[in-house]
Amino acid sequence: MFLLDLLLHFSFYLHDMLKQLLKREVLLLKPVKKNILSNVKCSQLSNGEFRILFIGSDSLVSLPVLKFLHEEYRKITKTHSSISLNVLTRVLEKNLNPVAEYCLDNGLEIRNWDHLEESDGFASLKCDVGVLSSFGKLVPGELIDASKFGIVNIHPSLLPRWRGSSPLPRTILADDTHTGVSLMLLSPHKFDSGKIISQTTFEVPHDAFTEDLAKLALQNGIELLTNCLENVENSVKKAEQQTKKGVTYAFKLKTSDSEIDWHKYTVADVWRLYRALSFKFPMRTEFNGKIVKLTEMIEPKYTSNSFIPNDFLSDHIKPGTACFSPLIEAICIKCVDGFVGFKKVHIAGRKSLDALQFANGYFNLRDSSVRFGAKRGKK
């Protein structure tokens, strides 16, 4: 029986692997002439069809917009009797991005950015309007010119504040109290500097995570997008240049952004860092010369002094000192002004441990604490 079950599980695994490989091979193949001709034909359809080209790649911001265009917009539009939707994204050899996966599962035509960039060019992607949401590649003028009314971008910030690839995390890291969404026209070879079609503002909720801001931004952004698409020609004509005042940049996030310096960071600093970056990176520190990843942070109200063992409440306890709190079952680490707690600890080269496992493995009877460093290489 055991051997039969093993063979059965292996057959299912092999089936899934072959399915994924087939998906990748289909998308990585250079588009055949039939696909190219289908795009040309699309540009010659009757005036009644409204042709949208969607451009995006991630799950946080891109995918919800694509789902709206495919599943909802065609049902609610009062302007366009017929809508065609094509998708342009990057298809990498190692894995399919969320947008590509969705297209395959829902029968949407997809074009591979890299193949078009390297060979065919973008002129064949004729459409009435392009819709871009979180893509990360500079769009060439050739692609913008292929769209009758240009390409509109849903950008989750109040431009010109937070131009760049990471406006939502930067909003939290800067402790902004208000943010918003900008619907803008793309300019060739420039990030987030095009004319503004419309904007909306909302408050940043208390203790919001990046994912929370993304949901709010999408709700507001989809409303702006819908209004634009319903009267796209007039919306584009009325677009205005961005102001040159208040320009800030949301530079691409790096792993090093999540490193904690226990001698400089307050509890509020670490909590803000976690809320901004945990969707992408775990918090990072050092232990015994190895990188450590900390996940599942406890809300700071549960790591106040009443939850910390009395032996660690002395002013002599140094930042980076860690203890185990049985009340919240977390590893609590001293910052400049208090403690922060995490449920999971992952030391490089070893499996992830929950707080109790880490305490049992690294705290001993003589010393019920350990020290974490600020960064790798620091003591």
pLDDT of res. 16: 53
Please state, in angstroms and rounded to a whole number, the distance separating the CA atoms of residues 180 and 63.
19
Task: Kindly report the pTM of this predicted structure.
Answer: 0.84
Question: Which 8-state DSSP code applies to residue 72?
Answer: I
Q: What angle do CA 243, 246, 247 make, to 5 degrees?
A: 85
Domains parsed from the chain with CATH numbers: 40-249 (3.40.50.170), 255-371 (3.10.25.10)
C-alpha to C-alpha distance for 75 and 69, rounded to whole angstroms: 10
CA atoms within 13 A on the CB side of 379: 0
Q: Which residues of the chain have pLDDT under 50?
A: 1-4, 6-10, 12-15, 17-19, 21-46, 365-366, 374-379
Nearest to 199 by CA among 170, 229, 223: 223
Task: Report d(CA 292, CA 317) in Å as an integer.
Answer: 21
Report the pLDDT value the prediction gives residue 368, as an integer from 0 to 100: 60
In this prediction, residue 367 carries a pLDDT of: 56
Tokens for 288?
Answer: 């015994």
Q: Render 282-338 in DSSP notation, one character per residue.
A: -EEEEETTEEEEEEEEPPGGGSSGGGS-GGG-STTPPTTEEEEETTTTEEEEE-SSS
Contacts of 303 (CB under 8 A, 6+ apart): 267, 325, 328, 330, 332, 338, 339, 340, 341
Which pLDDT value is given to residue 39? Answer: 33
pLDDT of 18: 43
Q: What is the pLDDT of residue 364?
A: 67
Query: Measuring CA to CA, which residue among 177, 100, 190 is closest to residue 140?
Result: 190
pLDDT at 34: 31
